[in-house]
Structure 1
């Protein structure tokens, strides 16, 4: 078996990608493999997600995953659980003020090992 070299150099990112891939195999949950593949992409090819985009594409009590950074542009009008690679301070404040919750991707993976009822927004 040939191992592919990851282009990422941050050890936290590399470890998260490995954890997601392992979880995908262990739980037969393709969502974690999809997130790992998104994290492997070159930084210049990733798009950041604004709070208004989350508001527009979710309903109350949804759980979503953003494989990149969440930024604070716009407003959010309902509570959602958002797991992301990173949050800006403003985005985190707006999500929690609306009654939502902010998680790291590995925290969501621990809470929901199979990734059931999780939407990916990218």
Structure 2
């Protein structure tokens, strides 16, 4: 069995390192959990459709997708979604509903502690 290499995407590796560093410095279980989720192999990393967000998220909430946000389904609630990556269709549908799609870095600048943020997937 080959040795695990971890994420080969340099941007993802940098993001994981930053989340772990800040998570330990600030004693933030949210950041450490998010780093663990992003560290998973790509074949089991979470892909989330906006229909799932429509079902499980209330109006005005903020959620994190530790993977890719996909545009399958309909969304009517204005929510803020932080994702490592998102399809163009998903971004368009979320913005049309009055929400916004941001990067995980932007979320950590807006809410460093991660309070009130759900990890969905």
Identify whether the pair has TM-score above 0.5, normalized to the shorter chain. yes
Q: Say whether the 8 Å CA contact 1:62–1:118 is kept in structure 2.
A: yes
Which residue does 1:56 correspond to in 2?
Answer: 55
TM superposition shift of 1:47: 2.8
**Rounded Cα–Cα distance in structure 2 between residues aligned with 1:79 and 1:41:** 29
C-alpha contact (below 8 Å) 1:28/1:114 kept by paired residues: no
RMSD: 1.1
Q: 1:7 Cα shift?
A: 1.0
Structure 1 equivalent of residue 91 of structure 2: 92
Q: Which runs of 4+ in 1 moved over 3 A?
A: none
What is the TM-score with the length of structure 1 in the denominator?
0.93
Cα distance in 2, alignment partners of residues 64 and 37 from structure 1: 16
Structure 2 gap ranges (5+): none
Aligned residues of 1:6 and 1:40 also touching (Cα < 8 A): no
Equivalenced residues, count: 118
Query: Relative to structure 2, which stretch is displaced further, 11-20 or 38-47?
Result: 38-47
Task: Tell me, yes or no, if structure 1 residue 28 matches structure 2 residue 27.
Answer: yes
> Displacement of 1:6 after TM fit?
5.2
Structure 1 runs not aligned, ≥5 long: none
Is 1:12 aligned to residue 11 of structure 2? Answer: yes
Question: Closer, same or farther in 2 for the Cα pair 1:107/1:6, shift >3 Å?
Answer: farther
